[in-house]
Structure 1
Amino acid sequence: MTCWDTVQAYWLRSLGFGENALPLTNISLCDQFVLIGSGMLWNLYFGLLALSLGFVFAVGLAMAKASRNKWIRKPAEWYIFIFRGSPLFIQFFLVYFFITTVLRGSVDVFGLFTIPTAWLANAWAGAALTLFLNTSAYSAEIFYGALMTVPKGDLEAADAYGITGRDRFFRIEWPTMLRLGWPAYTNEAIFLFHATTLVFFSGFPAFQQRGDALYYANYLADKTFNPFVPYPIVAFYFIILTLVLIGIFGLVNQRLNRHLPSHQKKRIRLRPQLIR
């Protein structure tokens, strides 16, 4: 089988298309690159879904934590504390245990109707939910810190011009909060995509050997008895993904800081730390 045949057979293998059987012997370097690259589709799915939904929820949590009403502030504080204080790997197990043991496939709502919940035990739903809950807590703390550091002068100027309530938030506090918190949020996005490698090593099983990049790397390491090829390939793919994220988030950062003088703009750059 040529490398092009391998691409056609396995590049969508993680989604259930193409060749059903995984290679057992004579596994080439091309086989490993293609299979691990196919698994990266799951990592992209988990990361993009959790990041997009978590961003909206995180902003709401940050506003709730900044609220003066303790009935709104305290639940947000405890939510952020619990999900930031416990390991993500344990959260995967707890969510899977809750779905399979407590919900048990369905939830009866006051005897009126039943809501099916068995689909949540699948990785595409339950694992994505766990990542969403986790990144929302970390992102909310980032945005809360940025919200608390909005310059007092900006708020006083808004009051002087009669800008209050919702208009003040969306015209003054919201853009300033994003601008101040965006570099830290970029790091959270990178860490979130790296955390997607834990999905199929936690309680969520891989259906018909359809896993992510690390799942296939582990499979290939077992079959070739050489972990020094597949795992560096996983690292290579994630380094490329990190560079793409830095580029995209850097463009957004430039947009958020477009009104500032050039010497005050904070650029997001890749700066490897060679000496610690």
Structure 2
Amino acid sequence: MSCWQTVQDYGLRSLGYGERLLPREDITLCEQFVLIGSGMIWNVYFGVLALAAGFVLANAVALAKASARRRLRKPAEAFILLFRGSPLFIQFFLAYFIFLRLKDGVPGTDFLTSAAAGALVVLFLNTAAYSAEIFHGALKSIPKGEVEAADAYGLAGWARFRRILWPTQMRLAWPAYTNEAIFLFHATTLVFFTGFPAQRQSADALYYANYFADRTFNPFVPYPILAGYFILLTLVILGVFGLVNRRLNRHLPQEARLKMRAPRVMLR
């Protein structure tokens, strides 16, 4: 079988298209590259959707935590503590158990027991909690002079937040938020090793890498391939977030701009 034929057979297998049977004998390097790359579709799916939805919730939670109203501040603090204080791996197991119970009592919620929906909810809430803490810290770090200048121009309430506070908050938080985005994409590899089942062997990149390591008794080929894919994904994230960072800092002198560099520590 040629490598191009392998791409046709297995390129979209993680989505349920193409050859159903996984290679079992005489596994080639091309098959490992193609199938692990196919599984990356799920990692990108989980990462992009969780990051986009978590960004919105994180901003709301950060504002609630910074609020002087106790009824807003305390639930926000509890939410952040819950998801930052417990391991993500355990959150997946508990969420799957809760969704199973919910399916039995509430009609129409069975879709939450699938990885595509249930695991996405967990990742969304987890990254929202971490990002909210980042945004809250940035909000508290806004120079007092900028707030006073906004007051002097007669800006108050939503107008002050939208035009002064939020842009400055994003500019200060963006380097740390980039690191959180990288960690989130790495954390997607946990999904199919928790309670959420892989239907018809359609799963993420680590699932296929683990399969090849078991079949070939040689983990030194599939796992470096997987690492290579994630390094490329990390470079893409850094490039996209770097463009946003330059946009956020476009009004500052060149020497005063916050630089975007590949983070030395990839984990929280």
Q: TM-score, normalized by length of structure 1?
A: 0.94
Does residue 141 of structure 1 match 2:133?
yes
1:253 corresponds to which residue?
Answer: 245
Provide the C-alpha distance between the structure 1 equivalents of 2:264 and 2:62, rounded to a whole number of angstroms: 31
Amino acid at match of 1:224: T
Q: Which aligned runs of 4 or more in structure 1 are off by greater than 4 angstroms?
A: none
SS at structure 1 position matched to 2:203: coil
1:26 corresponds to which residue?
Answer: 26
Q: TM-score, normalized by length of structure 2?
A: 0.97
Q: How many pairs were matched up?
A: 265
Alpha-carbon distance, 1:104 to partner: 2.9
- Listed one character per residue, the Cα deviations across residues 27-71 of structure 1 (whole Å, up to 9, x for unaligned) are 000000000000000000000000000000000000000011000
1:112 corresponds to which residue?
Answer: none
Provide the C-alpha distance between the structure 1 equivalents of 2:262 and 2:128, rounded to a whole number of angstroms: 24
1:222 to 214, 222, 238: 214
1:180 corresponds to which residue?
Answer: 172
Provide the C-alpha distance between the structure 2 equivalents of 1:223 and 1:148, rounded to a whole number of angstroms: 53
1:104 corresponds to which residue?
Answer: 103
- Listed one character per residue, the Cα deviations across residues 92-130 of structure 1 (whole Å, up to 9, x for unaligned) are 0000000012x13442xxxxxxx4110100000000000
Alpha-carbon distance, 1:161 to partner: 1.2
2:146 to 135, 154, 171: 154
Alpha-carbon distance, 1:269 to partner: 1.9
Amino acid at match of 1:154: E
Structure 2 unaligned regions, length at least 5:
none
Alpha-carbon distance, 1:150 to partner: 0.7
Does residue 264 of structure 1 match 2:263?
no
Provide the C-alpha distance between the structure 2 equivalents of 1:72 and 1:95, rounded to a whole number of angstroms: 25
Structure 1 unaligned regions, length at least 5:
108-114
Does residue 237 of structure 1 match 2:229?
yes
Alpha-carbon distance, 1:157 to partner: 0.8
Alpha-carbon distance, 1:185 to partner: 0.2
Contact kept, 8 Å, 2:179 with 2:263, in 1: the verdict is no
2:83 corresponds to which residue?
Answer: 83
- Listed one character per residue, the Cα deviations across residues 77-104 of structure 1 (whole Å, up to 9, x for unaligned) are 0000110000000000000000012x13
Amino acid at match of 1:162: G
Does residue 52 of structure 1 match 2:52?
yes
CA RMSD of superposed structures (Å): 1.0
Greater Cα offset, 222-231 or 189-198: 222-231
Provide the C-alpha distance between the structure 1 equivalents of 2:214 and 2:228, rounded to a whole number of angstroms: 20
SS at structure 1 position matched to 2:261: coil
2:182 corresponds to which residue?
Answer: 190
Alpha-carbon distance, 1:272 to partner: 5.4
Structure 1 residues 145 and 97, CA, compared in 2 at 3 Å: closer, same or farther? same
Contact kept, 8 Å, 1:135 with 1:188, in 2: the verdict is yes
- Listed one character per residue, the Cα deviations across residues 195-252 of structure 1 (whole Å, up to 9, x for unaligned) are 0000000010100000100000011111111111001111000000000100100000
Contact kept, 8 Å, 2:43 with 2:205, in 1: the verdict is yes
